[in-house]
């Protein structure tokens, strides 16, 4: 009887509804850790952050670690260095005097795609496999392939229908289908060519204490590679800060009208 029950439980957990993604597991662990983080209050110091700086450190503590850093205002410090053999501009972010986020911008990364792959490989060594990857140029190329496949499928389907039924297919109808498919394919190829000049690469890692995003963008006149680190402990505060910033920007623009 126990074996039957165990088998039923196992089968239930093999269903799609029982599958848990890595992101969901991390989110569950964060939820469990949040009470402990908050109970630590001002004493909270993460085991993660950026280099020797840890989430939750006071501004003074971070400045001691990076004495060459320059305070831009009470919420931000700028530090220039060389990271992964590339010149980098690092911006440390603080909320209520606590270290909560950091951006690492590479202004002279050379080939954007090569730089992204190099930095992604290094971040993999530190954080493991990304929970998400996106390449808009690759998506456009795959779209071309999908339209080609659709056109071929429609053509073969027409041939099979004709041979099985013995009824000669309406050639004009087939041509209309082919034209539509080829127009879609031509549009997809145009988008793929444009994507080779304009693309976004995005890789995202998540741990219990941090969110890390590697964004690389190429557009005419702009080549940008940036790593964004954010503290999971201060996620709600960061979201509120973003909302507040948007509101202040809208107020500023409204005054200009």
Domains of the chain, residue spans: 2-137+197-256, 140-195
Query: What pLDDT was estimated at residue 74?
Result: 87
Q: DSSP letter for 168, please.
A: P
The percentage of residues in the chain with a pLDDT greater than 70, rounded to a whole number, is: 67
Residue 182 in tokens: 């080829």
Q: Which of 250, 244, 226 is nearest to 116 (CA)?
A: 226
The C-alpha angle with vertex 93 and arms to 113 and 134, in degrees rounded to 5, equals: 25
Query: What pLDDT was estimated at residue 166?
Result: 58
Of the pLDDT bands very low, low, confident and very high (cuts 50, 70, 90), residue 238 is: confident
| Window from 86-100, 181-195, 236-250 with minimum mean pLDDT | 181-195
Distance CA 7, CA 56 (A): 47
Please count the other Cβ atoms lying within 10 Å of the Cβ belonging to residue 57: 23
Structural contact between residues 74 and 111, judged by C-beta atoms closer than 8 angstroms = no
Query: What pLDDT was estimated at residue 36?
Result: 81
Residue of 92 and 171 predicted with greater confidence: 92
Distance of CA 4 to the CA centre of its chain: 43
Residue of 190 and 226 predicted with greater confidence: 226
Of the pLDDT bands very low, low, confident and very high (cuts 50, 70, 90), residue 154 is: very low
140 pLDDT exceeds 70? Answer: no
DSSP for 84-126 reads TTEEEEEEEEEETTEEEEEEEEETT-SSHHHHHHHHHHHHHHH
Single pTM value for the model? 0.68
Compute CA distances 215 → 9, 117, 196, 200, whole Å: 42, 11, 16, 7
162 pLDDT exceeds 80? Answer: no
Query: What pLDDT was estimated at residue 168?
Result: 54
- For 219, how many CA atoms within 13 A lie in the half-sphere containing its CB? 3
| Window from 26-35, 78-87, 96-105, 199-208 with minimum mean pLDDT | 26-35
Q: Residues 14-35: pLDDT tens digits?
A: 444 444 687 788 888 887 777 7
Average pLDDT, the chain: 76
Longest dimension (CA), the chain: 84
Q: What helix, strand, coil percent values describe the chain, rounded to 5?
A: 55, 25, 20
Which residue's entry shows tokens 């590479």? Answer: 106
The C-alpha angle with vertex 203 and arms to 87 and 22, in degrees rounded to 5, equals: 140
Q: Residues 38-83: pLDDT tens digits?
A: 888 888 999 899 999 999 999 999 999 999 999 998 889 999 999 9
């Amino acid at each position: 009887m126990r074996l039957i029950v165990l088998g039923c439980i196992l089968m239930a957990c093999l269903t799609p509804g029982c599958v848990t993604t890595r992101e969901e597991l991390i989110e569950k662990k964060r939820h469990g850790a949040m009470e402990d983080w908050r109970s630590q209050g001002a004493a909270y110091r993460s085991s993660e952050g950026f280099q020797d700086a840890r989430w939750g450190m006071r501004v003074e503590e971070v400045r001691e670690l990076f004495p060459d850093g320059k305070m831009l205002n009470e919420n931000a410090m700028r530090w220039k260095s060389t990271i992964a053999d590339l010149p980098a501009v690092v911006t440390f972010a603080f909320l209520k005097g606590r270290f909560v986020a950091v951006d690492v911008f590479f202004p002279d990364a050379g080939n954007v795609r090569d730089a992204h792959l190099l930095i992604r490989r290094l971040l993999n060594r530190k954080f493991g496999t990304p929970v998400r990857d996106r390449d808009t140029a690759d998506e456009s190329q795959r779209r071309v392939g999908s339209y080609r496949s659709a056109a071929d499928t429609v053509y073969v389907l027409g041939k099979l229908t004709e041979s099985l039924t013995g009824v000669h297919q309406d050639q004009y109808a087939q041509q209309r289908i082919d034209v539509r498919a080829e127009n879609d394919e031509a549009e997809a190829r145009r988008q793929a060519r444009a994507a080779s000049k304009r693309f976004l690469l995005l890789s995202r890692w998540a741990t219990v204490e941090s969110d890390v995003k590697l964004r690389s963008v190429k557009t005419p006149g702009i080549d940008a590679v940036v790593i964004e680190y954010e503290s999971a402990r201060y996620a709600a505060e960061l979201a509120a800060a973003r909302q507040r910033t948007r509101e202040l920007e809208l107020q500023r623009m409204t005054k200009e009208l």
